[in-house]
Amino acid sequence: MNLIHSTPATSTSETRGAVQKMLQYMEMRRCIDRIFDRVDSPRIVAVTSLVPGEGKTTFCLAAAWSLAERLGRKVLVVDTANMVRSKSTILSDVCGVEMDRPFEVQKVQGGPASMSYTWIPPSMGSTRALKSQIERLSADFDVVIMDTVALSISSRLENDPLEMASVANAMVLVRGETRIELDANIKLEELQNAGVRVLGIVANRFGGVA
């Protein structure tokens, strides 16, 4: 199990601060390297959690920031959490971007030069169309990290994380301190039974956002 230490974050400025603090922890950087910096590491990874507020968005940002700044990778963060077309999300606010057109690639304000952002509309019509768009975008990047909605609310939404996982090469499950380990392990087994390649559970012991 991969362990991450972070600090609570509840706003845009606090989220940016939390990302920087997370990157100060050596174990955090090792965790990111174990997931993303291996010969067999997938290029497109979906990130989800059991419930909202466990820190998956903070992890997505920290991972992308670290890969771009420390390792010089070209990283694209894909925001799938906007449930209303052109409505801003925590991720878009932190990245300092405008949600004008879906799949428009924008640089992250104040972030590493090789870190970019884009977003997916609430409905793409088909998984095949979405997969085609993501594969097209990924051609220009070393790593694509997809921030998905939590599994507990996915049945009510169009951008289902399991659909995102089928588009990606693999998935990471973030578990916050409010969830017991058994819950995460049960969900991990369910995901694997559904044919999802799960790289592991990231245990976020000190809070986070989204």
- The answer to pTM > 0.85 is no
List, for residues 129-157, the tens digit of each pLDDT value: 888 888 899 999 999 999 988 887 765 55
Band of the pLDDT at 206, cuts 50, 70, 90? very low
> What letter represents residue 111's amino acid?
G
Tokens 């920031």 belong to 65
Bridge-partner residues for 77, per DSSP? 117, 145
Q: Which CATH class is domain 2-204?
A: alpha beta
Determine whether 96 is exposed, middle or buried from the number of CB atoms within 10 Å of its CB (0-12, 13-18, 19+): middle
Percent of the chain as helix, strand, coil, to the nearest 5: 40, 20, 40
